[in-house]
Structure 1
Amino acid sequence: MGGVGKTALVKEIYQSQELAGAFEKRACVTVMSPFDKVQLLRSLAMQLVVVEPPEDYETICSLGSRAKTPLFWSIQKLKNEMESILKEKKCLIAFDDLSSTTEWDMIWSSLPQMGNASRILVTTREENVANYCSKEQENVCKLQVLDREHALGLFMKKVFKEKEHLHRQYPELIEQAEQLLKKCDGLPLAIIAIGGFLVNQPKTAMEWRKLNQNLSTELEMNPELDTIRTVLLKSYDGLPYHLKACFLYLAIFPEDYKISLTRLLQRWVAEGYSREVNGKSSYEIAESYFRDLVSRSMILPTRRSGHSSNEMGSCQLHDIIREIGISKSVEENLVFRLEEGCSLNIQHRTRHLSVSNNWKGDQNEFESTVDLSRVRSITIFGKWRPFFISNKMRLLRVLDLEGTSDLVDHHLMHIGKLIHLRYLSLRECYGIYHLPGSLGNLRQLQTLDITGTNIIKLPKTVIKLRKLQHVRARGVGSNDDCTYGEYPEEVPKIMRNKLCILTCSSVGFCVACCAPHLLKECMGIDGDINRRDVCTTCCCSYLPMQVKRRSRRGVRVPRGIHRLKALHALGVVNVSKKATLREVARLTGLRKLGVTGVDESNSGELCLALANLSCLESLLVQSEGKPGLFGCLNGLSSPPENLESLKLYGNLECLPTWIDDGLKNLTKLNLRSSRISGHDTATKVLGSLPNLAILRLRKESFEGEEVHLHFRRGAFQTLMVLELSSPGKLKSVRFQKGATPKLELLQYKYSDQPEEDVVSKENDDDQFKEAPRVGLFSGLASLGSLKEFLLMGGNYKGDFVKNLRSQLESNPKQP
């Protein structure tokens, strides 16, 4: 990214005394924008060619001083002169700030063939340009920002000129210095500029706090910090128009917020930022925009726990770039952040409204600060207020309430009036148990995300939404990282109380009607809940779930769901009824499907449905209880040939035969509670999959008193990520030399609790199992691509960790 020190490093190398005798000629040229090939060649010639003045007096008189400088030479003469130099001399040439492959092609075609001893250095902000110029990956150096220690050292050197110990000399400045360094996030340019500005400022906490609070304004107004803005704005100014809009859109999200990739792309599509082109879907086009922004170093991909370095599950903005993005988005009337201290004296005309969790205003302030008639999207971070949805929002396309607290059912009663809505997210809104029938009025809706709510069935009117593409629905505590019976920490503890559920089941109707405030307290909801909400909760969620013992991990879909032909993603769906599976089988355009409620009684319909879904790329199948998935998937003769991701949660005992025979394109496989007994056979089958890149073996994947995993030479040729999260009673994990040659990330977690899902916290001291034994892993030194060994949770003793460190230190890659 801009300001990381590419130019400074190259110039340091170019000018170093060590290279003085290594090259006969040196030149460093900045590639200007807009690109001018003639100007670049003349600048290059000025540094490479030594021009002797003409000896003939008449020639001097006729040509004047022009004969002495390449600035007035023709293109052909420039090429001729440089050709003799570059062929005969050993040269070092640096091209600084190259911005496109087209520019490189023009430069390369203009340079004569160079000798093998000569070298070219290129700096660029775009990863694809670097790869294009070099051809060989080992010649590409991607500069990283400074770590905390070096960032602090540079900051101290710049501010105090001499080595000072901040903790000893200025303890009152520690907090503010850490906040400033956090905003700089290791970016050398920002650290140097801000440090240089603070040199002449009073060394007081108040002055430094002012800079922290008003950094966005200072970057815009203060000439001493103008360098940061100038350099980083160059990256923004170089973006094509469509990427500028996508980048400024990120100003919606708070500082340090990790933005889910799926969430971002679906919002871009809903806003119309990407459209179908030449057979590529709008979602695929949005993905290409995201990769382009990452390649240009405008946004930073973040790797969630367990993701490959090549798999970007989320992203965020560097704090300084975010400040610039916010100011530009305000200039363009694109994004307005309603937060504490924002300007309330004028009405802002904005397309995208973001409400911060620290905003404490009332309805009058809300309606007077923002022209709601122009708002296209509203995103809430923090607590819900009933006036956040207004009748004035006639053009609203995106309503993103992910993680909003105090939102309850009746707040959504009139949502059907937002007829232009394309994206609706209630993700992790734990107070939502029911969707209103008016949802059927949202005929433009493309994405419905109710993951992490208490909704167990979709309203019948959902079948009217013919443009619906994505339905994401998993109950509270049912995401991949939770084991059965667990809830995320954010869920109020009172909701986990079995007594509460028992009360609702036994006397729910009476309490709901006569004393709703008791159930309100029981459910742990602080919001504006009324009697109707409580009745809905009991009738539509708790009672059906208890009486029918229905899983909270999936939703029931109404009859007629097969009419939604635009659906690309559907899950997790409760398919305990065979009729549901028959309808799902008719959704032939599905690419992602998640189902639960599978057992022996409906396994035949499941296999028929999967055989019919030829476009399927991602599949999740889960079943609870001891029988689980045993024998349920054997009836599938030929799985979808495009399947890339497969998650099987439930008792299998052995892998289905079609995994080995039909999954040539599979790149990700997750197993949990599968209790496979033939460990060695299963490892051989999985090791032969030609494209498997990510393998996650989670809780009770294997069964037996002793589980030995042996990764043999030649197996798992494409595996990049291996996760072992309490997969069984592991006794050994052995890597033979030549096994998993591309493995970059190895994760390990063992369960220090008994097999029961719920453990009394009072007896925690007695519940710890034996820690993993020393020597559990062997062969780590031979893993030639390993970058990281990640220990997750657990009670890891010193000898176990010491043994791992010893093996990793012997690994040439030093993971």
Structure 2
Amino acid sequence: MGGIGKTTLTKKVYENELVNGHFDCCVWITVSQPYNVSKILMSMTKQIYQAKETTLRQINMANEITLISQLRKCLQQKRYVVVFDEVWKIEFWEIMKHALPCNDRGSNIIITTRSDLIGVSCKESLFDQVHKLQPLSQDKGWELFCRKAFQIEFQRCCPRELVIMSMDIVKKCEGLPLAIVAIGGLLSTKEKVSLEWQKLHDSLKDYSISGSRLLWLCVAEGFIKGKKGKTLDDVTKEYLMELVHRNLVQVSFGEHDYEIYRMYRIHNLLHKIILSKAAELNFYQVLEAGDTTSLGKSRCLSIRDVRENVSRQFKLLKVLDFEDAPIDYLPQEVSNLFHLKHLSLKRTKVKILPKSVGRLQNLHTLNVVGTAVHELPIEIFRLYKLRLILAHSHDFEIKNTFYSMRGAKVHEGVGCLNDLQALSFIVANHSGVGLFEELGKLS
């Protein structure tokens, strides 16, 4: 992933005097994204020719095909090394390889990328190697952290009273050099006392999110646009797997309610960068206990304490996720959120779903999994846009997995919910044969 040292390591090799002296010409191109093929080809040509003014004018006027042809002709008789740093698209190499002849003179091409797929796709012979950089070991990470956090004081050694906390901070960096350098550099400016260290330590909280929850939230927020022949769920999964392949999102496996499922998380450093950018763009805001700051125009809000009437201030709210929150009832004001698409009370202490929930005309997802809600009000049949009803729970006193599952009671009429895609679970013997006839109407 970003910050593991791909560019740093490559630059160390590229700038080495022995390496420079071994090749006839050296080219370094930072690709990143988006990229312009013509500009990259021009930059390569200028670096190779070390062009004079007359040549520069000719290069700037040439088209892509001409530039590729010129590069091939020039490099055919040279031992060259070319670095393409930060490649994001497979298509990039498919174009660039035509400008770089295989001339049996010991030339080298180095590509750095975050994408496993690009690494594999660029291999064209058994001689091509993919070197996957590994995180630093705990010992190397600790050594780097001490060099950065204690640059001047304590002879680059950690004071005894800060050792345990510092080692835990290094562990949370997960061997990522950029994270260790950034956090070590930040702490180098702080007073070397436990209180300052504790503040930063507490801000590095690990959290994983299930794939299903992530998918529902993305769809409900409207982040994902549909593609022809594919559902929104399928498109969301495609995007998520692309982020995994690019090493921006990490996969782990979690277990809950006897199920093993995929969990997703991002590195602490990346999380901090995202939060900083989100706050800058008024996209996301966190309200701490006793916070009196203006709520502003943030699209997403995280509330760290239970607040009275907070929903009154967010008439346009689309997502309300109370998962694991310490609440035992659904605030009455929630029924006024006409634009709400996603309502989750998962693993809260809520016992009753109020009739007023029937006013949420745009609701797509209703999640009361793991609550004491054992009956869904008949008013939910007004919610014609519902796609998911998740209402099961477990009785953990019963050891048998099948019999420990509890569903919710629903009334006759569920067949009117034509958009429903998932119903998990309902009590089958509650409304007699009529319930099965209603279920038969759901396509």
Q: Give the TM bin, normalised by the shorter chain.
A: 0.7 to 0.9
Whether 1:66 aligns to 2:53 is yes
Please give the residue correspondences for 1:280-679 in structure 2 after superposition, counting only pairs within 5 Å: 280-304=230-254, 313-340=262-289, 342=291, 344-356=292-304, 359=305, 384-385=306-307, 387-388=308-309, 390-408=311-329, 411-412=330-331, 415-429=334-348, 431-477=349-395, 483-484=399-400, 553-576=406-429, 577-588=432-443
The residue aligned with 1:148 is 138
CA 1:424/1:16 → structure 2, altered by over 3 Å: closer, same or farther?
A: same
- CA distance, structure 2, for counterparts of residue 341 and residue 106 of structure 1: 57
- What is the one-letter code of the residue matched to 1:108? K
- CA distance, structure 2, for counterparts of residue 122 and residue 193 of structure 1: 25
Whether 1:264 aligns to 2:214 is yes
- Secondary structure class of the residue paired with 1:573: coil
> What TM-score do you get using the length of structure 2 for normalisation?
0.81
Q: Summarize deviations over 1:308-362 as a string: whole Å, max 9, x none.
A: xxx98222232222222222222222211011475x2545332222112xx4xxx
Ranges in structure 1 where 5+ consecutive residues have no aligned partner:
52-64, 216-253, 360-383, 487-549, 589-815
The residue aligned with 1:791 is none
Q: CA deviation at 1:191?
A: 1.8
- What is the one-letter code of the residue matched to 2:365? T
For the Cα contact (< 8 Å) 1:45–1:70, is it kept in 2?
Answer: no
Q: Summarize deviations over 1:372-413 as a string: whole Å, max 9, x none.
A: xxxxxxxxxxxx45x2554444322222111122413xx455
For the Cα contact (< 8 Å) 2:311–2:333, is it kept in 1?
Answer: no
Q: CA deviation at 1:417?
A: 3.1
Please give the residue correspondences for 1:44-83 in structure 2 after superposition, counting only pairs within 5 Å: 44-45=44-45, 48=48, 65-66=52-53, 73=59, 75=62, 79=68, 82-83=71-72
- CA distance, structure 2, for counterparts of residue 419 and residue 585 of structure 1: 30
The residue aligned with 2:226 is 276
CA 1:66/1:348 → structure 2, altered by over 3 Å: closer, same or farther?
A: closer
For the Cα contact (< 8 Å) 1:87–1:115, is it kept in 2?
Answer: no
- Secondary structure class of the residue paired with 1:350: coil
Q: Summarize deviations over 1:47-84 as a string: whole Å, max 9, x none.
A: 55589xxxxxxxxxxxxx536x7686464885555324
Whether 1:188 aligns to 2:43 is no
Q: CA deviation at 1:586?
A: 3.0
> What TM-score do you get using the length of structure 1 for normalisation?
0.47
Q: Summarize deviations over 1:702-745 as a string: whole Å, max 9, x none.
A: xxxxxxxxxxxxxxxxxxxxxxxxxxxxxxxxxxxxxxxxxxxx
The residue aligned with 2:97 is 108
Higher RCO (C-alpha under 8 Å, 6+ residues apart): 2
- Secondary structure class of the residue paired with 1:145: coil
Q: Summarize deviations over 1:416-472 as a string: whole Å, max 9, x none.
A: 33332211111111x323322222222211111111112223222222222111111
CA 1:303/1:13 → structure 2, altered by over 3 Å: closer, same or farther?
A: farther
- What is the one-letter code of the residue matched to 1:474? H
The residue aligned with 1:40 is 40
- Secondary structure class of the residue paired with 1:451: coil
The residue aligned with 2:88 is 99
Whether 1:130 aligns to 2:51 is no
Q: Summarize deviations over 1:267-310 as a string: whole Å, max 9, x none.
A: 2222222233323222223223323433444433333359xxxx
For the Cα contact (< 8 Å) 2:150–2:158, is it kept in 1?
Answer: no
For the Cα contact (< 8 Å) 1:49–1:81, is it kept in 2?
Answer: no
Ranges in structure 2 where 5+ consecutive residues have no aligned partner:
none
- What is the one-letter code of the residue matched to 1:177? S
Q: Summarize deviations over 1:489-533 as a string: whole Å, max 9, x none.
A: xxxxxxxxxxxxxxxxxxxxxxxxxxxxxxxxxxxxxxxxxxxxx
- CA distance, structure 2, for counterparts of residue 326 and residue 335 of structure 1: 7
- Secondary structure class of the residue paired with 2:212: helix
The residue aligned with 2:2 is 2
- CA distance, structure 1, for counterparts of residue 333 and residue 72 of structure 2: 75
- CA distance, structure 2, for counterparts of residue 423 and residue 441 of structure 1: 14
Q: CA deviation at 1:184?
A: 3.5
For the Cα contact (< 8 Å) 1:401–1:426, is it kept in 2?
Answer: yes
- CA distance, structure 2, for counterparts of residue 258 and residue 477 of structure 1: 25
For the Cα contact (< 8 Å) 1:560–1:583, is it kept in 2?
Answer: yes
Q: Summarize deviations over 1:181-236 as a string: whole Å, max 9, x none.
A: 356343212322443565576644456457668x9xxxxxxxxxxxxxxxxxxxxx
Q: CA deviation at 1:161?
A: 6.5
- CA distance, structure 2, for counterparts of residue 26 and residue 18 of structure 1: 12
CA 1:341/1:585 → structure 2, altered by over 3 Å: closer, same or farther?
A: same
The residue aligned with 1:764 is none
- What is the one-letter code of the residue matched to 1:339? E
Count of residue pairs the alignment pairs up: 433
- CA distance, structure 2, for counterparts of residue 279 and residue 553 of structure 1: 36
- Secondary structure class of the residue paired with 1:107: helix
Q: CA deviation at 1:12?
A: 3.3
Q: CA deviation at 1:42?
A: 4.3
- CA distance, structure 2, for counterparts of residue 391 and residue 73 of structure 1: 62
- CA distance, structure 1, for counterparts of residue 420 and residue 309 of structure 2: 29
- CA distance, structure 2, for counterparts of residue 305 and residue 116 of structure 1: 55
- CA distance, structure 1, for counterparts of residue 340 and residue 193 of structure 2: 50
For the Cα contact (< 8 Å) 1:26–1:93, is it kept in 2?
Answer: yes
- CA distance, structure 1, for counterparts of residue 246 and residue 290 of structure 2: 33
Q: Summarize deviations over 1:596-641 as a string: whole Å, max 9, x none.
A: xxxxxxxxxxxxxxxxxxxxxxxxxxxxxxxxxxxxxxxxxxxxxx
CA 1:327/1:202 → structure 2, altered by over 3 Å: closer, same or farther?
A: closer
Cα RMSD after superposing both structures? 4.0
CA 1:159/1:333 → structure 2, altered by over 3 Å: closer, same or farther?
A: closer
Please give the residue correspondences for 1:754-793 in structure 2 after superposition, counting only pairs within 5 Å: none
Percent of aligned pairs with the same amino acid: 30
- CA distance, structure 2, for counterparts of residue 428 and residue 290 of structure 1: 25
Larger radius of gyration: 1
- What is the one-letter code of the residue matched to 1:330? A
